[in-house]
Structure 1
Amino acid sequence: MLSLAASAALLLPLLSGAPPAGADAPEADSLQRRFAAAAERHGVPGSVLLAVSYLQSRWDGHAGAPSVTGGYGPMHLTDAATALARSVPHHSADGEDARGDTARPARTGAGTAVPAPEELPARLRTLERASALSGIPAEELRTSAAANIEGGAALLAAAQREAGLPPSADPADWYGAVARYSGADDAATAAAYANDVFDVIRTGGDRVTDSGQRVVLAAAPAVAPRTEQVAALGLRAPARGPVECPVTVACEWIPAPYEEFGDGDYGNHDKADRPVSQSIDYIVVHDTEATWDVTLKLVQDPAYVSWQYSLRSSDGHVAQHLPLKDVGWHAGNWYVNAKSVGLEHEGFLTAPDSWYTEAMYRSSARLVRYLAKRYDIPLDRQHVIGHDNVPGTVASSIRGMHTDPGPYWDWAHYFRLLGRPLTPSAGPRAGVVTIRPEYGENRPVYTGCATAGEACAPHGSGAVRLHTGPDADAPLVKDVGLRPGGQDSTTGVDDTGARASTGQSYAVAERRGDWTAIWFLGQKAWFHDPRDRPAAVNARGLVLTAREGLAEVPVYGRAYPEASAYPAGVPVQAVSPLPYRLLAGQEYVVGHRTPGEYYYAPVFDSSNHRVVRGREEYYQIQFGHRIAFVKVADVRVSQG
């Protein structure tokens, strides 16, 4: 497990960034001066104000756009009514099978009564309180970075007063106020948040924000906060229970039910004995498409579906729902479910100009590092995947697969927090590239965030567009699984057909001027990759191609055993190829090698559950935007 000091050392040399293309360019130090003025006016130490803002937004203003839970500006002042209005829970779509096991009836959330959101908690209404304290109109707090900082300083000063503490100039005296600013209703989460803020104070930082402003926080390594102040806040103790979390995150036990309904039906997960029975190979990143309280109510509904962890946006609080040995129903692919851990992050993929808080990114990264170390999961994008990277099990399921966390999740920043920054590992003529555009500068047009066909608000993105030729006007590459009729891919925010995402590695097919082509879904796909603003880094890796004598190789959405491996009483599962082909001469990056496996768990009585393991082996590959599998016997592997 990581100690607090070790996690601080890992997470906090990361304060780097650049303004997005076309950003306004005010005076380079004006934001710094706003922080200083607001801190002095409200009697808050400048380092405290800066560090709180960094943990909320990394000092970015996001041009007045709200976060995924309705937080505005550098101080993340919350006004979340709009987030509640658009709540459509993650697994509630008609026809979606979150379990993804074709051996039994689909398990969907469709038809489940979605609970009404509760009255907005105080942590989601801080903007109105900041307005009352500062006298600044709410609209100005949303749209003006200077006003937003002023409002945040007023909130911190009020928290200090309410704790019965004087407005000290010593940052160490503000631990309790910082803990209260988090909005957490339990002491562990409030303390974890405050610990992160004081880690920022001790380590310092220097970053260029999304508006082109340089903000500097001088390191103060000797600051020793008065952590005992949290006890006086009157916050509840979380239900720790049998949680499996690192000590550096606040985690509570909110269990998902294992309940039998009769007629062979049960919910909302499967008992298992991982990793004794099967290895855990994947961590799947989701967003909830619902508010926190709705998410928790749904995962506790035996008629709904399940996942291992939920993470709250405002403060990074974690709730665990399943023991890690058990299998959740979350990925829509039974093979992946049986070998993965699912993390649901509070948020909305298609909220225009949505952004995720630094507090949630950090908490998630610490949890992923813990899981990766515990189960020996490689920290790369073949194993730490988005829900949008999980393949359909068979041809008919491809179009129903999910697309979260979507193009606005900042994978580059996430992997820096994981301690695995995406840096070049090979020379300029390497045979493999890893996608890595500059998130803030990379702003491809997406459509359909709010209204079908209409452009989404401009926003940084970790994804690049893929064309049929080295030209921005060339058509986008096709995805015959998503569109069997052969129609072109689109710019829709949910269309993954011509999209490669940060951290994904592909074999180079050709380079021409400012363009690079990769092998993608059985075709050559081009993305803009100029030397002065590269969209990828050169990398090393194993690649595979069709075995000599084969014109094409079948591609699969799951790695199931051969028919002869199934014992009596366990129905044979079809090894069904997807409607794609890996053609001779094409190369794809290898993730890992695995035997064919099928977890047979069709009934409530877990004593009858079995793992079927065959002699047939598979390679996982990065085939398109989603991962896929090919049989070892069909290919040969070489160094890319």
Structure 2
Amino acid sequence: MDPFTRRTALRAAAVGTAGLAIAAPGVADAATDQARQRAFAAAAAEFGVPEQVLLGVSYLKSRWDANAGLPSRGAGFGPMHLTDLRTVAAGGSHHDKGTEDPRGDLARPALHPVEPRRAAPVAALQTVDLAAELTGASPDALRTDPAQNIRGGAAVLAHYQRQLGISGTDPADWYGAVSRYSGATDSTAAAFFADEVFNTITSGASRVTDDGQAVHLTATNVSPARGQLRALDLPAAARGDVEAPPGLSAEWIPAPYEKTKDGYGNYDKAERPQSQQITHIVIHDTECSYDVALGLVQDPTYLGWHYTLRSSDGHVAQHILTKDVGWHAGNWYVNAKSIGVEHEGFGAQGTWYTEAMYRASAKLVRYLADKYRIPLDRQHIIGHDNVPGTIPSTVAGMHWDPGPYWDWGHYFDLLGAPLHDWARHNTGLVTIKPDFATNQPGFTGCDTAGAACTLRGSSAVVLHTEPRDDAPLLKDPGLHPDGSPSTMDVADVGSRVAAGQRYAVAEIRGDWTAIWFLGQKGWFRSASGVPALGPAVTPKPGLATVPVYGRAYPEAEAYPANIPPQDLVPLQYTFAAGQKYAAGPLLPGEYYWATTFDPSTHVVVRGETEYMQIQFGHRVAYVKADDVVLGRA
């Protein structure tokens, strides 16, 4: 491990032990609209629900946001996350779409999963129906009108309380109803959600929502009646061999490792970290419901990832031991050195994630990062959309989840590693850090190709060829080999950066900053970035260009006689003299030969070549360490 990576790891391990804090921007001034605060108070009074409980439940679902009436990744709507699976596609998976081979090992035939049948809606995912029956409001109003949505959520909570035969407005007596509101099907998950709600009530929270509403929950010390959970008669989760922190709702639902008529599925046995160091955690979304995802990962003809998280309550299912290699990222080098974490979601149709899932994911990822000494930064905690294509022909088919609406800034707050601006002046590096709520790029294609998406908060910042808003977007020859510019399609990452990513500054003009991006200067408004500290790489003197790779494989001489060398094929991009790119970890040249069902035949091929991971575009890439000079930007 190089000195910079070692220092980063030590710093990350330190911050990783910090407790989760309520991520709240703070109360706005008196001029900010407080209609939502009044809506919570009115609904609490109308249905006899303690206002703290109503606010706490809503915070764990949506952080009180309206999300422009759009569904969550778990088919939930509005501040109270009333669910309506009928209105959101229930089938498919992001692994079924595009041309990406999730295994990404060119030594084996490409793996192209078949789209599964759609799942029928279930009662637990149709709380909007119950809310409509209890309030008389229409399902459409409950989905799109925040005040009606809050009424609906209060009515459902009160209904659950009546079913338990409990009366009164003492918040402590609402633990059972809150547990049931989670939608959990086991007692562990229900308790996790309820405990997070009551922890929020005890800590208090204040923030301004995505539509400018100031909402405040006064800290109230409550000792909830946890014994009420027994009245729900929910089974305990089968924790089994699960690798997760204590207190997190998690169970073991194994992916099969078995032979099929076409080979075997749906992961590879390994002995990490003894065989290979685990260096990355890859954040995915499923683009299908949680239940569909569980069915897929248990199908030996499909593929495998390590964890799936449920949207409604943050419940975690583990499918593959972290020592083994999943087929999930579309790049075998990344798969062999990473852990894949899927989050329940429906692609562009569902554009936001619940707070319960963010919190559960952050607890899980912090645990894994601490276990494997993975630094908590965007060089090591990456999205599927940051994984590079393996060779030029696979670049266009790589996936783009979790997409531009994943709140990386909030996620790193929960990880205990906030995206700080460590420097106060131009350092030659910049960390992308837009204000999520007010940064609303005009993407297209969320529902219909070419149609405008509803404007809403995003982690993504769009790059231009010149320092003006109407300038063209950059070109990405991997995604657009015809030479046309990138587009504003929600899936097109060819001219887009995201919160937490770090880039080398190429130029500054007035209120605009240019960064080096895919061999070009990409301009964005400087307010969406902060000066950063860290190393950068440039071509060694005398080199006009440096090859850029999508996988960090060893030189041909390193392979044993019985293992065919993997070709070192550069990607179709140019890293020219005079350009700089932010440096990530120094990585060994390795190839995991695992083409048979018998793990005793698997071999880790190690070479002398070392690679530097760089932030080259929206995706990372690799350059040979001998081709570049590493220094401070």
> Shorter-chain TM-score category?
over 0.9
Q: State the Cα distance separating 1:37 from its structure 2 match.
A: 1.9
1:155 and 2:153 matched: no
Q: Counterpart of 1:141 in 2: which secondary structure? A: helix
TM superposition shift of 1:348? 2.1
Given the alignment of the two structures, is residue 494 of structure 1 paired with residue 499 of structure 2, yes or no?
no
Match of 1:332 in 2: 330
Secondary structure of the structure 2 residue equivalent to 1:555: coil
Contact conserved, 2:41 with 2:51, CA < 8 A, in 1? yes
Partner of 1:128: 129
- In 1, the alpha carbon distance for the partners of 2:518 and 2:265 equals 35
| AA of the residue aligned to 2:468 | D
**2:464–2:523 CA contact under 8 A, matched in 1:** yes
Write the deviation string for residues 277-303 of structure 1: whole angstroms up to 9, x where unpaired: 001111111111111121111111111
Give 1:457 deviation, angstroms: 1.2
Q: Deviations over 1:45-71 (max 9, x none)?
A: 111110001001101112322222321
Partner of 2:534: 541
Please report how far the alpha carbon of residue 431 of structure 1 lies from its aligned counterpart in structure 2 after TM superposition.
0.8
Counterpart for residue 418 of structure 2:
421
For residues 7-43 of structure 1, what are the alpha-carbon distances to aligned partners after superposition, in whole Å with 9 as ceiling and x for unaligned?
9983333122799xxxxx9972222122112212222
Any gaps of 5 or more consecutive residues in structure 2?
1-14
Mapped to 2, the partners of 1:15 and 1:429 lie a distance apart of 28
Provide the aligned length of Structure 1 versus Structure 2. 618
Assess, with a 3 A threshold, how the Cα gap between structure 1 residues 571 and 304 changes in structure 2: closer, same or farther.
same
Give 1:122 shift: 2.4
Shift of 1:211: 2.1
Spell out the pairing of 1:209-608 with structure 2 (5 A cutoff): 209-220=209-220, 222-262=221-261, 265-351=263-349, 354-529=351-526, 534-608=527-601
| Mapped contact 1:12–1:200 kept (Cα < 8 A) | no
Question: Of 609, 612, 616, which residue of structure 2 is paired with 1:616?
Answer: 609
Alignment of 1:178-193 (within 5 A): 178-193=178-193
Q: Is the 8 A contact 1:447 1:491 kept in 2?
A: yes
Find the counterpart in structure 2 of residue 22 from structure 1: none
Contact 2:176–2:232 (Cα < 8 Å) also in 1: yes
Q: Aligned to 2:438, what secondary structure does the other structure show?
A: coil
**What's the C-alpha RMSD, in Å, of the aligned pairs?**
1.8
Q: Once structures 1 and 2 are overlaid, which stretch shifts more, 30-39 or 579-588?
A: 30-39
1:11 is paired with a residue of what secondary structure? coil
Identical amino acids, percent of aligned pairs: 58
Task: Return the match for 1:15 from 15, 21, 24.
Answer: 24
Shift in alpha-carbon separation, 1:428–1:514, aligned structure 2, 3 A: same
**How far 1:238 sits from its partner (Å)?**
1.4
Contact 2:26–2:206, Cα closer than 8 Å, also in 1: no
Q: Partner amino acid for 1:123?
A: A
Deviation at 1:585, TM superposition (A): 1.3
Paired with 2:593 and 2:179, the residues of 1 have a C-alpha distance of 46
Partner residue in 2 for 1:3: none
Q: Map 1:133-144 to 2 at 5 A.
A: 133-144=134-145
CA contact (8 A) 2:27 2:216 kept: no
What TM-score do the two structures reach when normalised by structure 2? 0.95
AA aligned opposite 1:115 = R
Partner deviation per Cα, 1:382-404 (whole Å, 9 max, x = no partner): 11111000000000100110011
CA distance in 2: counterparts of 1:240 and 1:508, whole angstroms: 47
Matching of residue 171 in structure 1 with residue 171 in structure 2: yes
Q: Counterpart of 2:75?
A: 70
Structure-2 change in CA distance of 1:216 and 1:95 (3 Å): closer
- What corresponds to 1:82 in structure 2? 87
* Secondary structure at the counterpart of residue 142 of structure 1: helix
Contact 2:309 2:315 in 1 (8 A): yes
Q: Aligned partners of 2:252, 2:474: CA distance in 1, in Å? A: 45
**Partner SS, residue 95 of structure 2:** coil
Q: Which amino acid aligns with 2:207?
A: R
| Secondary structure of the structure 2 residue equivalent to 1:367 | helix
Deviations 1:118-174 (A, max 9, x none): x3222211111012122222222222221111111111111111112122x321111
Specify the SS of the correspondent of 1:433: strand
User: Hey, what does 2:622 align to over in structure 1?
Assistant: 629
Q: Which runs of 5+ in 1 are unaligned?
A: 1-5, 20-24
